[in-house]
Amino acid sequence: MSDDGRSAITIIAMLGSVFSPYYARARARGAADPLMHCAMNVALYGPRADRWALTERPRGAVFRAPRSLAIGPSVMEWSGGELRVAFDEVTAPVPSRLAGTVRLRPSVPEPAAPGARAGVALDRWGRHRWSPLAPIARAEVELAHPSLRFSGSAYLDTNAGDEPLERGFERWTWSRAVGSDGIALTYDVRRRDGTRMLLSPAFDARGGARELPPLAPRPLGDTRWGIAREIAADPGSAPRLLRTYEDTPFYARSLAAATFGGKPATVVHEALSLDRFASPWVQLLLPFRMRRAR
């Protein structure tokens, strides 16, 4: 997110696109190759207009190396202590070019979170794992299409799984809160077996990690599609919605203000309903927000 709060960008490299209806259909027929369903998802939220690009590509368009990943024309590469992302994608549903570079530099050279490289299990069996690799970072963003430059706070994590998300979870919320003395992460997971887990680590710029004081789900208001938005924040607090970035039938990405440990913070928040995602009518809508290269 830019320092002035007017622009933001999210980039997700997907090896086995978890929200692909084509991948879901392939799994329904039997064993499916995740590398036949890869994508570099780029979402830009600018002062004048937003852009969304998600093109699913097959195995032949994917190149993997220890320090780099290429999916079609877009590349992620670690070099000189920073992650460089160069992307050149086509937006959906209205086609336009979305191209540029992002340079992300972590505040510390190694992951600050204990066990970050190994990942934190989100379910009882370790089939779904989350790794906050760089909780605090800076990013330099330079876009050619559309023309836009900004710098600001950044974050890097990974998720990995051995089964479809909807098999393990009913829903979850995730947030990253930026305050004056560091950042706080929350992962509030509602599992398919009826249990719940809340992770709430906090980090400072030197790489120190700690757990936040006890948090409680606080309402942020439902989306237009009826997705419940809750932030795990200070008990009794009243988070405020500042902007809705994405409002889809099963997923919402938002900007909010909330307090953690008594300290105010600006929060990027995500809410995901896997029950809604798995419904047949949502599966029919998914191709309108994505392209498929052959």
Q: What is the mean pLDDT of residues 7-13?
A: 98
pLDDT tier for residue 33 given thresholds of 50, 70 and 90: very high
Q: What is the mean pLDDT of residues 15-32?
A: 91
Tell me which of 74-78, 179-183, 187-191 is least confident. Answer: 179-183
Nearest-angstrom CA–CA distance, 290 and 55: 6
Q: Closest Cα partner for 165 from 227, 115, 122, 228? A: 122
Residue 235's contacts (CB-CB under 8 Å, 6 or more residues apart) are 214, 215, 216
Q: What is the pLDDT of residues 195-220, one digit of tens each?
A: 999 999 999 877 788 889 999 999 99
Q: What is the pLDDT of residues 76-122, one digit of tens each?
A: 999 989 999 999 999 999 999 999 999 999 987 654 444 445 579 99
Output the CA–CA distances (angstroms, integers) from residue 82 to 67, 176, 219, 259, in the order listed: 11, 21, 36, 30
Q: Is 182 helix (H, G, I), strand (E, B) or coil?
A: strand
